[in-house]
Amino acid sequence: MTSSRRDAAVVPFSPPEALSAEGASGSSAERSLRLLALLASEGRALTLADLAARLALPKGTAHRICTQLLAAGFLARDVDERAFSVGPALRQLAFDTLNHGVVRGLRHDVLSELVRQVGETCNFTTLDGTQVLYLDRVEAQWPLRLTLEIGSHVPLHCTASGKLLLAQMPRKERDAVIAGLTLTRMTRNSIVAASRLRAECDAIIERGHACDNEEFIAGLVAVAVPVRNAAGAVRAAIAVHAPTARMSLDEALGQLDALEAAAQRMGTLL
């Protein structure tokens, strides 16, 4: 039996830092790109005054650019209407970019090789707001498996990748995210207390990997490890998951060496 959960295919946009804030000169298109790059790299909403100051732009110019990008869907209003965050059109552009061309094929090859080694489904995920986004996955050829299509979202608090990516946030940001999460009980093992989730994040940082002990779906276990870019920042996660009928959590943990080797290879493809 297979199960499927699907959501919109979106992902945060992370262009090179070199675009983020270099003077006020240049065309309107260049200024727009620098503004989007700054918002994406910050990972949080910024006010018009913040954007103008960081990019050395007149407030009137920054306001005009934001208005145009807002109308096109590349920006969105934050909870505080004075602040702007990345919009759905920018998220879609980033997702399409990440899943295009030679690099995507190389990343898929890394997952395929990992599946051949561990014999179970493996996935490549990243953070999208307060959810986990599936960028790629390779299914093991078993009749009993969970099917999650590329572009699907899963919760942070009860998945191995989600808890791993949550743990990697700066503590202040992590605590703010946890305070705002709805900790839905997906199974009897799900973490539904904020204090316990904070403690779990601390433990994940200490040991370097995260586990899902039947917390998202009863009868399913998973182990996730971080994928770091050249600067050492965690940008994604690689995980293996399997039904307990075929793989126990201890057996999944026995695949850590293979997972970490794949994560290191994946890091060179970010």
In a domain? residue 2 = no
Please check whether residues 72 and 127 belong to one and the same domain.
no
* Predicted confidence (pLDDT) at residue 5 exceeds the cutoff of 80: no
Please check whether residues 162 and 255 belong to one and the same domain.
yes
Question: What pairs with residue 239 in β-bridges?
Answer: 123, 224
* Predicted confidence (pLDDT) at residue 228 exceeds the cutoff of 90: yes
C-alpha–C-alpha distance, residues 125 and 134, integer Å: 5
Please check whether residues 109 and 242 belong to one and the same domain.
yes
Please check whether residues 255 and 194 belong to one and the same domain.
yes
Domain limit, last residue, from 44, 64, 93: 93
Q: Would you state the pLDDT for residue 101?
A: 66
H or E element that contains 4: strand 2-5
C-alpha–C-alpha distance, residues 115 and 147, integer Å: 15
Higher local confidence (pLDDT), 170 or 5: 170
Please check whether residues 144 and 21 belong to one and the same domain.
no
* Predicted confidence (pLDDT) at residue 231 exceeds the cutoff of 60: yes
In a domain? residue 10 = no
Domain limit, last residue, from 34, 64, 93: 93
Q: Which residue has the tokens 């913040």?
A: 50
Could you give the percent of the chain with pLDDT greater than 70?
A: 86
* CATH value at residue 262: 3.30.450.40
Question: What pairs with residue 125 in β-bridges?
Answer: 134, 237
Please check whether residues 112 and 246 belong to one and the same domain.
yes
Q: How many domains does the chain have?
A: 2
Please check whether residues 69 and 192 belong to one and the same domain.
no
Quick check: 258 and 118 in contact, CB under 8 A? Answer: yes
State phi, psi for 239 to the nearest 5 degrees: -140, 155
Please check whether residues 23 and 108 belong to one and the same domain.
no
The pTM of the full predicted model, rounded to 2 decimals, is 0.68
Mean pLDDT, range 30-57, rounded to an integer: 91
Mean pLDDT, range 118-124, rounded to an integer: 95
Please check whether residues 62 and 117 belong to one and the same domain.
no
State phi, psi for 135 to the nearest 5 degrees: -85, -35
Q: Is 128 left (phi over 0), alpha (psi -120 to 50) or beta?
A: beta
pLDDT in tens, 150-176: 778 899 999 999 999 999 999 999 999
Higher local confidence (pLDDT), 87 or 146: 87
In a domain? residue 245 = yes
Higher local confidence (pLDDT), 200 or 230: 200
C-alpha–C-alpha distance, residues 118 and 225, integer Å: 14
Which residues form the domain of 191? 99-267
Please check whether residues 104 and 188 belong to one and the same domain.
yes
Quick check: 211 and 94 in contact, CB under 8 A? Answer: no
